[in-house]
Structure 1
Amino acid sequence: MLRALYDMTLRWSASRHADKALAVVSFTESSVFPIPADVLFLPMCLARPDRAMRYALIATVASVLGGIFGWAIGVWAFDALARPLLEFYGKEAAFEALRGETGSLAILVMLVTSGLTHIPPMKVVTILSGVVAFDLKLFILSAIVARGGRFFLLAVLLRRYGLRITAFLETRLNWIALGVTALAVLAFIAFEVLR
């Protein structure tokens, strides 16, 4: 089933409705859809480098809005909507493990790493953030920074280097994102200590 979804998502990247499809996939990826928006975003940017920044904006805005939807599911509809989805994707155990490690700093770190690297999956973190009533303003800010950072960085690199950068990104992007996350955590700790 996931392979069929993946193939369908990839076909959307070549359609005349690619912008809308990117918005829908970016929105739903942050709350319920198992396929990352990159499946659409990367081929779209490679095919039309002149529109890469536009695609990054669409993906960022839709992803943040989808994250807010996931947060709302966690706050108001966890048992009715989220639990069955987590069971369907086989993520309930991962969710419960994450739930046990929650605190503001842990949620913030998960939001940043999830937004940058998809580890842990974005939908799990957005729902978890709602379940533990993580501050919505900080949630939105971290989603904008992480998701926007990811999409705009990819857009710039793809626009400048095209296909040559894709192999580099596939092998090293997670390490780069983890380094950025470590810096964000240190900045957050420094802010808390100095406050």
Structure 2
Amino acid sequence: MEVFKPLYLKALHWSRHRHAPALLTGLSFIEAIFFPVPPEMMLAPMSLAQPKRAMWFATLSLAGSMVGMFIGYALGYYAVEMAMPLVESLGYADQFESIKQQAAENGFWLLLIAGFTPIPFKIFTIASGAVGMPLLPFFFGALIGRGKRVYLVAGAIRLGGARAEAALHRYIEPIGWFALALLVAVVAWLFLRGQGA
């Protein structure tokens, strides 16, 4: 079953729009709150089309995500019960308590990891707000975690050109599932480590 490829193809279509930079910023913003399409799926073809602007596109994506993540945090902090239908609709209701616990205990590190997964970033921002994670580690964890991800994509496309974008297109499914499995393994390890402490 293909999950990531259809979303990637839709983002490819958006990347050709004349207002693509604004769309990328907006996509990054809403992805951090409720939208399921990772902005890197739009960032990659935009970086391929204009390699000299790749890092600028990554900066726009990061800026949109940073604003969106604070709204996600506020949802968790002030209205977690209102946010739960979203968490449930995305299929993370069972894991949400564990993610909240990890956000309370290892929030900074959890956000560093979350920045590299196809799991919607909003799950982590809502969970961080729900446990009242201090804003400074929340900000820097998300900034570094998400920043590494978008700049890595933009840099890879700028250096690798069409071959890198073609590889991303060809292997988006296994990459997405591998990143998902990696996140589950790390969260499980952090949880088990916390239980043994």
Q: What is residue 189 of structure 1 aligned with on the other side? A: none
Tell me the amino acid that sits aligned with residue 131 of structure 1: A
Match of 1:130, SS state, is: helix
Displacement of 1:142: 1.3
Partner deviation per Cα, 1:156-194 (whole Å, 9 max, x = no partner): 22111113334378677978xx7xxx9xxxxxxxxxxxx
Displacement of 1:4: 7.4
Partner deviation per Cα, 1:5-50 (whole Å, 9 max, x = no partner): 6654332111001111101111111121111111111111111111
Q: Distance in 2 between matches of 1:63 and 1:102?
A: 18
Contact 2:104 2:128 in 1 (8 A): no
Q: Distance in 1 between matches of 2:162 and 2:109?
A: 31
Q: Which residues of 2 match residues 59-138 of structure 1 at below 5 A?
A: 59-80=61-82, 82-105=83-106, 107-118=107-118, 120-138=119-137
Distance 1:27 1:113, change over 3 A: same
Displacement of 1:101: 4.1
Displacement of 1:90: 2.0
Contact 1:52 1:159 in 2 (8 A): yes
Structure 1 residue ranges (4+ consecutive) displaced by more than 6 angstroms after TM superposition: 2-5, 171-175
Consecutive unaligned residues in structure 1, runs of 5 or more: 183-195
Contact 2:100 2:128 in 1 (8 A): no
Q: Distance in 2 between matches of 1:6 and 1:79?
A: 31
Contact 1:75 1:133 in 2 (8 A): yes
Q: Distance in 2 between matches of 1:45 and 1:76?
A: 37
Q: What is residue 50 of structure 1 aligned with on the other side? A: 52
Contact 1:104 1:134 in 2 (8 A): no
How high is the sequence identity, in percent, across the aligned residues?
A: 35
Contact 2:31 2:120 in 1 (8 A): no
RMSD, matched Cα: 2.7
Deviates more, 1:8-17 or 1:163-172: 163-172
Q: What is residue 188 of structure 1 aligned with on the other side? A: none
Q: Which residues of 2 match residues 178-189 of structure 1 at below 5 A?
A: none
Displacement of 1:116: 2.3
Q: Distance in 2 between matches of 1:138 and 1:83?
A: 24
Match of 1:31, SS state, is: coil
Q: Which residues of 2 match residues 139-178 of structure 1 at below 5 A?
A: 139-166=138-165, 167=167
Partner deviation per Cα, 1:33-92 (whole Å, 9 max, x = no partner): 111111111111111111101101001111111111111110011112x11111222221
Q: Which residues of 2 match residues 30-45 of structure 1 at below 5 A?
A: 30-45=32-47
Q: Distance in 2 between matches of 1:101 and 1:145?
A: 18
Q: Distance in 2 between matches of 1:29 and 1:99?
A: 19
Q: Distance in 1 between matches of 2:158 and 2:103?
A: 38
Q: Distance in 2 between matches of 1:129 and 1:29?
A: 16
Match of 1:77, SS state, is: helix
In the comparison of the two structures, how many residue pairs are matched? 173
Contact 2:38 2:120 in 1 (8 A): no
